[in-house]
Amino acid sequence: GQNIDQPTEMTATEGAIVQINCTYQTSGFNGLFWYQQHAGEAPTFLSYNVLDGLEEKGRFSSFLSRSKGYSYLLLKELQMKDSASYLCASMDSNYQLIWGAGTKLIIKP
Amino acid sequence: IAGITQAPTSQILAAGRRMTLRCTQDMRHNAMYWYRQDLGLGLRLIHYSNTAGTTGKGEVPDGYSVSRANTDDFPLTLASAVPSQTSVYFCASATGTSGTDTQYFGPGTRLTVL
């Protein structure tokens, strides 16, 4: 079956660094997406990885290991506005996105 | 308008009633999608359309139908609503030039079926 696992909730302190992990198991693989979703709002695109390694984009970085079926999203210099849910999604062989349930990130001052 | 719009924003519906959720995009994207989002579950694909005139079934299509008469509009119809269809519904679109295109989401419709 197809499955995406990520922690339900994480808490971090403003100014700190947090790593949100995601493991995936899908029928085929065409890349790994991360989206941010603030409460009551639409998901917005953060990153896409299809090759192994780290992709850095400002305060946010995303890592992929295809052999391990593993990805993480790294958020640096946390700000209160980063309080949101972070959704991991793997694209399967049919180019359909399989979504995790999301990780709710709580930032404390 | 710019981007994707959905209507209505929210709706309370009696079970057994018919309901159409509207989705319109002005980005000339070829691909469009309908998802539902339920607490504790990931987004689940209901139906999709790779280009105007074509549609396909996603993971949870039962009880829903779609049409794609033109590039901009992708309505989702619940023929006879049931309480298990209470959810937040998101429409999304992508350019469709590549299967791995980023999907852009509308603001969502919160539907309650009583």
Query: What was the pLDDT predicted at A98?
Result: 94
Instruction: List all residues of chain A from 46 to 85 with a beta carbon under 8 Å from chain B.
Output: 48, 50
pLDDT in tens, A25-75: 988 999 999 999 999 999 999 999 999 999 999 999 999 999 999 999 999
Cross-chain Cβ contact B103/A97 below 8 Å: yes
B97 pLDDT higher than 80:
no
Alpha-carbon gap: B58 to the closest alpha carbon of chain A (Å):
8
pLDDT confidence of B93, banded at 50, 70, 90? Answer: very high
Closest partner CB to A31 (pick from B40, B45, B100): B100
**Alpha helices for chain A (secondary structure H):** none
**Residue A106 to residues A6, A18, A85, A93, Cα–Cα distance (Å):** 15, 11, 9, 34
Query: What number is the average pLDDT over the span B14-19?
Result: 97
Question: Within an 8 Å CB–CB cutoff, is residue A45 touching chain B?
Answer: yes
Report which residue type is found at A65. Answer: S
Query: What was the pLDDT predicted at B90?
Result: 98
Closest partner CB to B107 (pick from A42, A50, A91): A42
Query: What was the pLDDT predicted at B1?
Result: 52
Cross-chain Cβ contact B40/A91 below 8 Å: no
Query: What was the pLDDT predicted at B98?
Result: 77
Query: What number is the average pLDDT over the span B74-83?
Result: 97
Cross-chain Cβ contact A48/B107 below 8 Å: no
Instruction: Enter the tokens of residue A66.
Output: 């295809």
Query: What was the pLDDT predicted at B110?
Result: 97
Please state the three-class secondary structure of A33-75 as a single string.
EEEEECCCCCCEEEEEECCCEEEEECCEEEEEECCCCEEEEEE
Cross-chain Cβ contact B43/A41 below 8 Å: no
Query: What was the pLDDT predicted at B101?
Result: 87
Question: Within an 8 Å CB–CB cutoff, is residue A31 touching chain B?
Answer: yes
Question: Within an 8 Å CB–CB cutoff, is residue A95 touching chain B?
Answer: yes
Q: Show residues of chain A in contact with B99, CB under 8 Å.
A: 30, 91, 95
Question: Within an 8 Å CB–CB cutoff, is residue B100 touching chain A?
Answer: yes
pLDDT in tens, A2-13: 899 999 999 999
Query: What was the pLDDT predicted at B27?
Result: 94
